[in-house]
Amino acid sequence: MVTPAAFATSPSASISGDDDAARRLAAALLTGLGRLPEWIIDLGELATARVTEAFVLLVRPLVRALGPVRFGLSVAR
């Protein structure tokens, strides 16, 4: 997460939470770590976190397919 520039395409980062100020702070922290603001996606309320947490289910199959390489997920737009 701290070296998004290591990827050819910047991985997306999603933020979920019921506190608007906390989501803005999280976005600022991610930007401070080098994320481009356009790759930070504010999904809104905390209930949306359930969906993004399910992405962890992709890790094992991706490592099996690609080997132990760095990878990230991006939303193509």
Token pair listed for 8: 């050819």
Q: What is the pLDDT of residues 25-77, one digit of tens each?
A: 999 999 998 888 999 999 999 999 999 999 889 989 999 999 988 888 888 88
Q: What is the mean pLDDT of residues 9-13?
A: 86
Domain residue spans in the chain? Answer: 4-66
pTM score, whole prediction: 0.79
Contact yes or no for 44/20 (Cβ under 8 A): no
